Amino acid sequence: MNHVESVAEAYKNACIGFKEPEAYNTLFDQYYSDTVLFKDPVSMGSGRQALLKYCDLVSKLANTLTIDKWETICQNDAIAMHWEIKLKPKFWFFTISIPGMTLLRFNEEGKCVEHIEYWDLFNALMHLIPITPVILKLAPQGLRNHLAFLC
């Protein structure tokens, strides 16, 4: 297993053990640059501390997190991970299925310098709302096309 494959496996294990801060601490200490850039649909930050805060928030908001699908493409200086998680928030009675993608880019020393998450929580929530098909049917054509694209 090469370096980027090792990082991908460590990242997956950290996601599975998301309630254990040590899993993320080890991952970030071993494989991430001190100045890593982090972006996702709801937050953005720089440095390992920003990532640790984000992971801590997820662990506080979620009761469970499981991975249903995981595909990885590794290159010399980048990893693309396509995944689908099932998340049971503490404040919600449904389990939410969220598809997404994680992109990691590495510097010459093999440290992650860019961590970008792409996921669509709005789309996942729209499928849980029973009246979504009714809204789509009653909406004007232009709005219906836009909403159908989102859903």
Q: Are residues 73 and 47 in the same domain?
A: yes
The mean pLDDT of 87-100, rounded to a whole number, is 82
Residues 137 and 70 reside in one and the same domain: no
pLDDT of residue 151: 46
Same domain, 44 and 9: yes
Residue 48 sits in a domain whose CATH number is 3.10.450.50
Pairing state between β 112-119 and 32-40: parallel
pLDDT band for position 135 (50/70/90)? low
Number of domains in the chain: 2
In whole angstroms, give the CA distance from residue 127 to residue 138: 17
**Greater model confidence, 147 or 6:** 6
Pair (44, 25) in one structural domain? yes
CA angle, 46 as apex, 40 and 48 as ends, to 5°? 95
Nearest partner of 113 among 38, 23, 13, 27, judged by Cα? 38
What pLDDT score does 105 carry?
96
Q: Any idea which of 22-26, 44-48, 134-138 has the lowest mean pLDDT? A: 134-138
Whole-number pLDDT of residue 24: 81
Check pLDDT > 80 for residue 72.
yes
Residues 115 and 129 in one domain: no
For residue range 96-133, list pLDDT tens digits in order.
888 899 999 999 999 999 999 998 766 666 666 665 55
The pLDDT assigned to 15 comes to 80
- The answer to whether residues 80 and 94 belong to one domain is yes
Residues of the domain holding 62? 3-119
Do 68 and 136 share a domain, yes or no?
Answer: no
Q: Which of 75-79, 100-104, 111-115, 134-138 has the lowest mean pLDDT?
A: 134-138
Token representation of residue 138: 């009653």
Residue 40 shares a structural domain with residue 24: yes
- Are residues 136 and 76 part of one domain? no
Q: How would residue 82 be classed by pLDDT, with cut points 50, 70 and 90? A: very high
Q: Do both 47 and 106 map to the same domain?
A: yes
Side by side, which strands form the sheet with 43-46?
Answer: 43-46, 32-40, 112-119, 96-106, 78-89, 62-74
Residue 51 has pLDDT above 90, yes or no: no
Q: Does one domain contain both 143 and 79?
A: no
141 and 101 in a common domain: no
